Structure 1
Amino acid sequence: MVDTVQAQKINLLDLKLKFGLERTDDGEFFQEWQENLPELTDLEMAAMDEVKEEYLHLSQYPLLEPVVKLVVLSPLLKWAGFYRYPFFITGEKEVKITSEDEATIITDRLDILVFTPEFWVLVIEAKKTAYYLEVGIPQALAYMLESSNLEKPNYGFVTNGTDFIFLKLIKQEKLIYSESDLFSMRRRHNDLWNVLQILKGLSRLVVQ
Structure 2
Amino acid sequence: MVQVIAAHNLELHDVEARFGLQQSTDPAFFPEWQGVAMALDERDLYWLDKAKANFLSLIKYRLHEEVVKMSILAPLLAVSGLGTAPFVPKAEKQVEVTFPNQDSDADGEMIRGRIDLLVLYQNLWVVTIETKPQQSDVLEALPQALTYMMASPDEALPLFGLLTNGRHFMFVKLLKQPQPVYGLSELFTLFRQGNEMHQVTAILQHLGKLTMELDWKKRKVG
TM-score bracket, normalised by the shorter chain, equals: over 0.9
Cα distance in 2 for partners of 1:51, 1:100 equals 45
Q: Which residue is equivalent to 2:62?
A: 62
The aligned runs of 1:146-157 (5 Å cut-off) are: 146-157=151-162
Cα distance in 2 for partners of 1:43, 1:2 equals 52
Deviations 1:146-191 (A, max 9, x none): 1011310111111011111000111221111100000111112311
* Runs of 5+ unmatched residues, structure 1: none
The aligned runs of 1:40-189 (5 Å cut-off) are: 40-99=40-99, 103-189=108-194
Number of equivalences: 208
Give, as a single letter, the amino acid of the residue that structure 1 aligns with 2:54. Answer: E
Q: Which residue is equivalent to 2:220?
A: none
> Could you tell which deviates more after superposition, 68-77 or 181-190?
181-190
Q: Which residue is equivalent to 2:21?
A: 21
1:193 to 192, 198, 208: 198
| Secondary structure of the corresponding residue to residue 62 of structure 1 | coil
Q: Percent identity?
A: 36
The TM-score with structure 1 as length reference comes to 0.93
Q: Which residue is equivalent to 1:9?
A: 9
Q: Which residue is equivalent to 2:208?
A: 203
**Coordinate RMSD, CA, aligned:** 1.7
| Secondary structure of the corresponding residue to residue 121 of structure 1 | strand
Cα pair 1:153 1:169 within 8 Å, conserved: yes
Cα pair 2:55 2:71 within 8 Å, conserved: yes
Give, as a single letter, the amino acid of the residue that structure 1 aligns with 2:18. Answer: K
* Runs of 5+ unmatched residues, structure 2: 103-107, 214-222
Cα pair 1:93 1:113 within 8 Å, conserved: yes
The TM-score with structure 2 as length reference comes to 0.87
Cα distance in 2 for partners of 1:175, 1:42 equals 41
Q: What is the CA distance between 1:101 and its match in structure 2?
A: 6.2
Cα pair 1:19 1:99 within 8 Å, conserved: no
Give, as a single letter, the amino acid of the residue that structure 2 aligns with 1:60. Answer: K
Cα pair 1:38 1:200 within 8 Å, conserved: no
Q: What is the CA distance between 1:98 and its match in structure 2?
A: 2.5
